[in-house]
Amino acid sequence: MPSRPGCPGRSRVRSAPGQAGLPGVQGALATLARDVIDLACSSQADSVRRCEAHGRVRLFVRDHARRRWCSTCGDRVRAARHQRRVKEQRRATAADA
């Protein structure tokens, strides 16, 4: 990802002495923090959106203009839409018989 002007970018962000390769929760949080810095400093920062699914607080990078949900919620929406169509087709077929 190209770095935005004024952002240090990952190459300029370093761990404190003695804290590289932290285990457990601290290591996971350090990785998360570096990834957030990378995203915030990237050209994709302006594409970060909040998932529109009810009750969700997830963020995602919108990669096309019509995207409204994170990948998990998008999968659920598509599965529910498919199930609704299958039920409607079964009802229509049963009504014709």
What separation in angstroms does the CA of 34 have from each of 10, 58, 93? 7, 18, 55
Closest approach of Zn ion to the CB of residue 88, in Å: 25
Closest contact distance (angstroms) between CB of 53 and Zn ion is 4
Give backbone dihedrals phi and psi of 50, rounded to 5 degrees, phi first.
-90, 135
x-marked contacts with Zn ion along 38-77 as a string, rule CB under 5 A: -------------x-x--x-x----------xx--x----
**61, containing H or E segment:** strand 59-61
Q: Do 74 and 31 form a contact (C-beta atoms < 8 A)?
A: no
User: Closest separation between CB of residue 45 and Zn ion, Å?
Assistant: 19
Binding site for Zn ion (CB under 5 A): 51, 53, 56, 58, 69-70, 73
